[in-house]
């Protein structure tokens, strides 16, 4: 009986921790610092903002981007991104394309203070971000 109570308590704790983790994203804004194990350097203000209603928006370096996201515990799934169609230097366009492709591969996240780590289906780090709107 005591084992069942401990197990039930652990399950409830993990469930509540997952909810708290998922609730840590809406209303926050992030700038990439690393993508695919390479430093992320951009002359433009690349960012992603998570909204309360499950939408995200931001700037990919050239174009405005937006889409939907869903979280459950530490799992996250980004829906297809829509973007404006401005032309920019080839290097900027490639970086933006890679950013959107990387977001599409993300399945898990870990937030630690002002740092956000995005991981793929195999648990590999694909992007690191720093919170922009933190005081």
* 3-12 average pLDDT score: 43
Q: State the chain's mean pLDDT as an integer.
A: 84
Total residues found in the chain within this entry:
135
Predicted confidence band at 7 (pLDDT cuts at 50, 70, 90)?
very low
Q: Which domains does the chain have, with CATH numbers?
A: 2-131 (2.40.128.270)
pLDDT at 24: 73
Higher pLDDT: 134 or 66? It is: 66
Q: How confident is the model at residue 135 (pLDDT cuts 50, 70, 90)?
A: very low
Q: Between β-strands 28-35 and 125-131, what pairing exists: parallel, antiparallel or unpaired?
A: antiparallel
Q: What percentage of the chain carries pLDDT values higher than 70?
A: 81
What b/e readout covers 105-120, taking b as 16+ CB neighbours within 10 angstroms?
bbbbbebeeeebebbe
18-58 per-position pLDDT tens digit: 444 445 788 899 999 999 999 998 767 899 999 999 999 99
């Amino acid at each position: 009986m005591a084992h069942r109570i401990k197990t039930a308590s652990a399950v409830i704790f993990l469930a509540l921790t997952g909810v708290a983790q998922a609730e840590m994203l809406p209303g926050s804004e992030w700038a990439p610092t690393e993508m695919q194990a390479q430093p992320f350097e951009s002359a433009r203000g690349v960012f992603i903002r998570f909204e309360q209603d499950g939408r995200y928006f931001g700037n990919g370096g050239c174009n405005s981007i937006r889409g939907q996201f869903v979280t459950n515990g530490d799992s996250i799934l980004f829906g297809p991104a829509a973007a404006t169609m401005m032309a920019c230097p080839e290097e900027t366009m490639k970086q933006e394309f890679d950013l959107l492709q990387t977001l599409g591969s993300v399945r898990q996240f870990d937030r630690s203070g002002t740092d956000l780590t995005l991981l793929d289906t195999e648990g590999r780090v694909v992007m690191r971000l720093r919170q922009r709107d933190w005081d």
